[in-house]
Chains A and B, each alone.
Chain A
């Protein structure tokens, strides 16, 4: 019995084989996710993220287990290419969309933080991806790795890693540190549709079989070795294009929607995009975003969300007027029977966030720093322009309307912050009395 699919040189039979290593790997992915989600609770589209992780895991399972894994490892170059498309191109964006944002936030420190920021840059990301793609399709490497289970496992793993790195700038869970906005992501993926042309041409236009593994493999179908290789080359080009252009379409229309704003023309675009249900669903399935979009159109539609023992509503950050300064406004409600004290606030993208109160004293507007913000039992505290707010300083990058920022409220006696998300809005939406009604 094999634990991982490798080339064995035995005649192919349509007889199911067990690959316990694959099962262990899949179980590990699910277990790790469960642990991550309990360690980093997610309020931003939790169900969507779980589904994405599940889908990504399912794609990996199909690619690695019998029969796709076994055929690709030792019999057909074309199936080997299908595996590549699934492992390196299809599963990684799904897995990345599934990661809780809290994980990224926790990793974004020290060495791992520097590595993440490097990965977020599109040029190292695509450079690594292309290097792995070229190296893992070079015949001596394939013929050496595929004959052992450890080698085959290594190949599958490095494919997955290269895919995660490649997709990171596009689908990273926390968008604040990525270098690309939608137009840049579209351009990045268009470049990516070109880079696999090298492997495609190498496989398609080679007059002789390149890989001993597949040339000398026991026959499975009537397909000749060279036709199999030709098919593999075409799959690299066409299959890669299908995956990448799907992502490009989603990004493009999301960009259109965002630049059009939330109200005008939105219905028209949405009507065209029935096929892009994935991208659209991503925008509307989350409760936080629903609340925000509702309140954007109708200030009175008030949706309260839980954040620890408190409830919050209408969390917004005004688009900064001066480059590195902005303010967070939110309404907080305490449904419990005990007073809740907030001792500090951290906001994603700001090195320094402090509770402030603006007071009018002797005709002067003055700012006072608060050490503690107390929400009495059954009471509501509004952070709104001209009164209480969270002052954000040392912004590490410009904020643009539509961005979603992670906010951590540290409660008295607690170490980890309670998480909510605030949306960046144009300044007039903040000062226009868009604070929540009671």
Chain B
């Protein structure tokens, strides 16, 4: 019996040891503190000086109304079944938890790629449930494609689908982050997590952007 008992204790010791070592490995897999969750952008695409009708009836000028702020821009549509709501909900969740003096430095802009179905009411309802400070812009399909072209994003397309009200819209999956001068600096593709936003947003507000990928030695501005 005592032999089996000691075997039992040995088994526990091994299990505990394995758990501790696994936990230690876990600590090491956390990314380096200076890495960003998104992809640093090389091309200096800037927000174009265009206006879009906003969901509240006003107009939103992409340059004038974002000047001096960190801007996060996403092009999608509210009937999107999975990526758009989850991607934006995770961002919204982190923004809500940031100190106000930090979160008010950030403008989040959603541009619908599906103006036919995304009425101003629909945009207000959908974006309002995510974050009450999000801006919802609604232009024509041509204006959206022009914006995508200016930002170097793939052009969104409407997939006819099965019926007039039942179709999908193909669109870029990333959130673009612009610095206070309106230059695109980091793209956050689908799959970015709340912990990434939590780490990166304060640094964007502080102006601590990652260097462009091809010139890692360049001084940060």
B86 close to A127 (CB less than 8 A): no
Q: A278 an interface residue at 8 Å Cβ cutoff?
A: no
In A170-218, the 8 Å CB interface with B consists of: 207-209, 212, 215-218
Chain B minimum-CB-distance residue to A226: B93
Complex formed: what's the CA distance from A208 to B201 in Å? 14
Q: Which of B7, B19, B89 contacts A118 (CB 8 A)?
A: B7
Mask, A131-170, CB within 8 Å of B = 1, is 1001100101000000000000000000000000000000
- Per DSSP, chain B at the interface is helix
Q: Which of A124, A216, A217, A226 contacts B193 (CB 8 A)?
A: A216
CB within 8 Å for A209 and B194 given contacts A11-B82, A131-B16, A218-B86: yes
Complex formed: what's the CA distance from A140 to B194 in Å? 16
Q: B218 an interface residue at 8 Å Cβ cutoff?
A: no
Closest 9 CB pairs of A and B: A124-B8, A127-B12, A218-B82, A11-B81, A131-B15, A208-B194, A208-B195, A11-B82, A121-B8
Complex formed: what's the CA distance from A131 to B94 in Å? 32
Q: Min CB distance, A394 to chain B, in Å?
A: 15
Residues of B within 8 A of A117 (CB): 4
Chain A minimum-CB-distance residue to B25: A140
Q: B29 an interface residue at 8 Å Cβ cutoff?
A: yes
Complex formed: what's the CA distance from A9 to B82 in Å? 8
B16 close to A208 (CB less than 8 A): no
Q: A3 an interface residue at 8 Å Cβ cutoff?
A: no
Total cross-chain contacts (CB, 8 A) = 76
Complex formed: what's the CA distance from A131 to B15 in Å? 6
Q: Which of B11, B90, B190, B193 contacts A128 (CB 8 A)?
A: B11
Question: What are 9 A-B pairs at a CB distance below 8 A?
Answer: A9-B82, A11-B81, A118-B8, A123-B8, A124-B9, A131-B16, A215-B194, A216-B86, A218-B86
In A217-232, the 8 Å CB interface with B consists of: 217-219, 224-226
In B1-31, the 8 Å CB interface with A consists of: 4-5, 7-9, 11-12, 15-16, 18-19, 22-23, 26, 29
Complex formed: what's the CA distance from A95 to B7 in Å? 27
In B127-162, the 8 Å CB interface with A consists of: none
B11 close to A127 (CB less than 8 A): yes
Identify the interface centre among B29, B191, B193: most chain A CB within 10 Å of its CB.
Answer: B193
A140 close to B26 (CB less than 8 A): yes
B residues within 8 Å of A by Cβ? 4-5, 7-9, 11-12, 15-16, 18-19, 22-23, 26, 29, 81-82, 85-86, 89-90, 93-94, 97, 190-191, 193-195, 198
Complex formed: what's the CA distance from A219 to B86 in Å? 7
A118 close to B194 (CB less than 8 A): no
Residues of B within 8 A of A224 (CB): 89, 93
User: With A131-B18, A216-B191 given, can you name 7 additional A-B contacts, CB distance below 8 Å?
Assistant: A10-B82, A118-B8, A121-B5, A123-B8, A124-B8, A128-B15, A138-B22
Residues of B within 8 A of A215 (CB): 86, 90, 193-194
Complex formed: what's the CA distance from A219 to B81 in Å? 8
A217 close to B93 (CB less than 8 A): no
Q: Min CB distance, B55 to chain A, in Å?
A: 21
CB within 8 Å for A225 and B89 given contacts A131-B15, A131-B19: yes
Residues of A within 8 A of B89 (CB): 219, 224-225
Complex formed: what's the CA distance from A11 to B82 in Å? 6
Q: Which of B4, B5, B97, B193 contacts A209 (CB 8 A)?
A: B193
Q: Which of B11, B18, B29, B191 contacts A124 (CB 8 A)?
A: B11
CB within 8 Å for A134 and B19 given contacts A118-B8, A218-B82: yes
Q: A34 an interface residue at 8 Å Cβ cutoff?
A: no
Complex formed: what's the CA distance from A114 to B191 in Å? 48
CB within 8 Å for A225 and B12 given contacts A114-B4, A121-B5: no
B22 close to A208 (CB less than 8 A): no
A residues within 8 Å of B by Cβ? 9-11, 114, 117-118, 121, 123-124, 127-128, 131, 134-135, 138, 140, 207-209, 212, 215-219, 224-226
Q: Min CB distance, A15 to chain B, in Å?
A: 13
Residues of A within 8 A of B198 (CB): 208
Q: Min CB distance, B9 to chain A, in Å?
A: 7
Residues of B within 8 A of A225 (CB): 89-90, 93, 194
Chain B minimum-CB-distance residue to A211: B193
A218 close to B15 (CB less than 8 A): no
Complex formed: what's the CA distance from A203 to B22 in Å? 18
Q: Min CB distance, B7 to chain A, in Å?
A: 6
B19 close to A135 (CB less than 8 A): yes
Complex formed: what's the CA distance from A121 to B89 in Å? 48
Q: Min CB distance, A334 to chain B, in Å?
A: 42
A135 close to B11 (CB less than 8 A): no
Complex formed: what's the CA distance from A9 to B89 in Å? 16
Residues of A within 8 A of B12 (CB): 123-124, 127
Complex formed: what's the CA distance from A9 to B190 in Å? 12
Q: Min CB distance, B130 to chain A, in Å?
A: 10
Residues of A within 8 A of B15 (CB): 127-128, 131
A218 close to B19 (CB less than 8 A): no
Residues of A within 8 A of B195 (CB): 208-209
B193 close to A212 (CB less than 8 A): yes
Chain A minimum-CB-distance residue to B23: A138
Q: Min CB distance, A119 to chain B, in Å?
A: 9
Identify the interface centre among A10, A118, A208, A224: most chain B CB within 10 Å of its CB.
Answer: A208
Chain B minimum-CB-distance residue to A119: B8
Q: Min CB distance, B103 to chain A, in Å?
A: 16
Complex formed: what's the CA distance from A124 to B5 in Å? 8
Chain A minimum-CB-distance residue to B87: A216
Complex formed: what's the CA distance from A117 to B3 in Å? 11
Complex formed: what's the CA distance from A114 to B8 in Å? 11
